[in-house]
Structure formats: structure tokens, C-alpha cells
Chain A
Amino acid sequence: MVTALAAPMHHSERVAAAWQALGHVPDPEIPMLSVLDLGLVRAVEIDAHGVLQLHFSPTYCGCPATETIMRAMRQALEAAGLGPMQLSLKLSPAWTTDWITPQGRRRLAEAGIAPPGPARPFDGTAPIRLVRRPAAAPACPHCRGTDTTVLSPFGSTACKAYHRCLVCGEPFESFKPL
């Protein structure tokens, strides 16, 4: 018996539906942000064999959330019925915090995490600059004060550092520019 098939989606519809589904996949460690807010998905395309190809760029080499994120993205795409797919890790070009979207930055600030400043291009030849010497200090996400100090350059996840606001006295996390 022949079952009526749903009209096949055009490639552009399939890609658009994939982006939409990915917009609901949260980062497991910063769940107020989606993987798209963080700029982790570099490309979604349909290859010559009709396979949906997704290229994903991890934040840090050792980020323990990477595999959880890939599993969650696959589940979201499968739930949306988007057909055969392949997810690939892409290390180059390296992920940078400059890829965090304006919406992502706003959501970070709303969650009390200072969004990252612009990442300086890194060519490996810059002289060693000690952390104690003031870099561009992030503004306090609580009172917007700009007089802040580093408590620890390493935080609860690989992508964050700890600061303290010298205006309101509150400690806060910041997203490290990378």
C-alpha cells in the first residue's frame, strides 16, 4: 500500500528550518544562551547527496560541553524531521568571542555575566603582558560601573573569569575575550 508522502522540503526551507531548530538548543553551561547566540554553528548546508551538513566550532579545545551540545543539536534537528544529516567539528577558523551575537551579548548581561570586549587578533608574537596590569576591564553587569578589578582570570567554566565591581562591591563573572 502506498502512503502519501509529505511534499519534500526545498533545500532553502530545510536549511531555514534547521537554523530555526538550532535557535532553541541551549548551551548546557550557560542555558540562557542558544548555540546560535554563541556563534557556535558556522554553516548549515545541503550537500550533493541531499545530506544536511552542519559545521560546529567548539569554544575551547577541552570544553566538556562540546559533546552534550552536539548531541542536543542532533536531537533538535531530528525532532524537526530534517532528514539525513552529518555534524562535523571545525577547529579552523578558531571560534572567537567576536562571533557572539548582539542578542547573545544582551542575554549574557541580563544573566549577570559581563559580555566580552573585542578579541584582539592574536599572532603569537605579542610580548607577555601580566594580568595585574590593567587590560580593558569589563563593566559591571549589575550597576554598569566601569571601575572593576580581576579576582581570578579563570572561572567556573573555561570561557569565564571572575571580577569585582569597585563601585557597587558586587562580584561578577565575565566572558573572556578570545
Chain B
Amino acid sequence: MSTPGRPEGEGTPVHATVQQAPLRPGTAPALQYVLRLGDTCLIHAQRLAEWCGRAPVLEEDIALANIALDLLGQARVLLSHAAVLDGQGHDEDALAFWRDEHDFRNLTLVELPRGDFADAVVRNLLLSTWLKAIWAGLKASADATLAGLAHKAIKEAAYHQRHAADWAVRLGRGTAESAARLAAALQRAWPYTAEMFTADAVDDAAQQAGLGPRGCDLLPAWLDEIAAVIDDAGTAMPVLGAFRSTGRLGRHSEHLGRLLCEMQHLPRSHPGAVW
């Protein structure tokens, strides 16, 4: 990664100073709001990239890598912007590679182990539908960088959503085995969807400042779109229990730490390395 979100995106040094120790971003609500979105895109991309070389068919290998690449591009703009909002002179690379687990703000759903192909399809469907709604809200953001990105990213999210919905229906209407896998993957992912729509102070502040939408306001439209696909796939809608995940508050599952070990290994072992 280097510097896409700022003027002069090429030719600038990767780091003005070489980061050598873990960093902690500030706690301002606007910064937290952007980190939540940026980290969700980044960690989702990292997990999806694990499918490269493992997908059931070559076309899907390419598709999942393409989707991961789009998400990584979105994460770069968001984390570059977060670094500006944070004002500590860091950049996207420092935020991605030098924060520890408790300073990541992604939804827990994206850090869960990649599971089987049905898990990948379900996760992509749930997240792309949610991201599409987020980007739709961000198009009117008072923050010009977020609004600019939203106009681009919403098209990418819609394309990802169509692909995931297509696969959900194919699995649901395929063999007894594929339908059972889809239903099981939905059951596994569903408890983690509540986090997308839980109201809190960061979301409230973002809405009041005109920065972006609150997750809780996106639930009805999200549920309508997901229900249409699940219905088409011939599967039942899961029921939400009392469990609430807390990744966007920095309290993660045991899986994020291991993901970060892999993702951060090289820059932490060789600070300032470029390739």
C-alpha cells in the first residue's frame, strides 16, 4: 500500500519516518467512524484473499480475489483519510500494520475464519448489502473525501452483491448438500449481523455532524434485500438471539489476532521494507 487518497499519489516516499512501534489512534467519534468502515473493508479483504488458490472453480478464485482487491482499494482511501483525521502524522500503512488488535474497529463478522465456500458467499452477501447501504448514505456526507469515495464504491458493492446473491440462489436451489451448506452458513453468520445495526454514540455523532448514516437506520432496507435473496434461494430466515459481537468497539474474537499476525508480519519484522 502507498498513498492513493492524497494529491500526488505517486512518487512520494512510502514513509516519511519509519514506524517501529505499535501506534494508538485517537478517540474522536469521526475518526472512530471512519476506522470502523476502513477496518471492516481491510479485514474483509484480507480474509477473502485467503480464497486465492482455494476456491472451488478458477472463475471463483478470480472473482473472490477481485472483490478483495476492490475492498482493499476502498480501505486504502478510508485509512489514509483516518490518518489525516487522526493528525498524528501516520499514513494508511502505519494504521494497517502498526496497530494492535484492540485498536482495530472492524465488525467481528469479517474476522471469523473463512469457513467453507457457503460461508464466503453468505458473508459477501450480508456485507455487500450492508456496505451498499452505507455508501448510499455517505454519498451525501459533509466530508468530501467520504462522499467522493462513496460515489465510486457503491457501484463496486452493488456488483459484489449481485455476484453473492447469484451464488446464494445457486447453492440454495442446487443439491441437498449445497442447500444444507448455505443454511448452515447463514446460521453461523447471522448472530454477527446485529453489530451492523447497533446504535451507539459514534454513529449518533456521525449522523448529527452529517458525516454518515447510523447503522441502526439501515436495518429495514437491508433486511428486505437479504430476505428477497434468501426467499429466492428457498432457505429460511435465521432468527436473531441475544448474542452481540463488539469488534467495532475493539473487543474482538480470538481470530483477529492470528489474522493480524500474518498480515502484519512482514512490515513488523522489516520496518520500512518496500517491495
Seen from chain A, the residues whose Cβ lies within 8 Å of a Cβ on chain B are: 58, 60-64, 66-67, 70-71, 74, 86-95, 122-132, 151-156, 158, 162, 176, 178
Contact = CB atoms under 8 A, between A and B. Distances in A.
A71 B69 contact: no
Nearest to A155: B62
B23 interface: no
Nearest to A135: B162
Closest 9 CB pairs of A and B: A62-B73, A61-B73, A92-B148, A152-B59, A124-B136, A91-B148, A154-B63, A70-B10, A62-B69
23 contacts: A60-B70, A62-B70, A67-B10, A74-B10, A86-B8, A89-B6, A89-B9, A91-B77, A91-B145, A124-B139, A125-B136, A126-B158, A127-B228, A129-B162, A130-B162, A130-B169, A131-B163, A132-B166, A153-B63, A153-B159, A155-B62, A158-B70, A162-B59
Interface string B149-160: 101111110110
B10 A92 contact: no
Contacts of A152: 59, 62-63
B235 interface: no
A128 B165 contact: yes
A61 B11 contact: no
Interface residues of B, number: 51
Nearest to A90: B148
Contacts of A88: 7-9
B156 A60 contact: yes
Contact of A154 (B59, B71, B74, B145): B59
Nearest to B125: A128
A154 B130 CA distance: 21
Interface of B: 2, 4-11, 59, 62-63, 66-67, 69-74, 76-77, 132-133, 135-136, 139, 144-145, 147-149, 151-156, 158-159, 161-163, 165-166, 169-170, 225, 228-229, 232
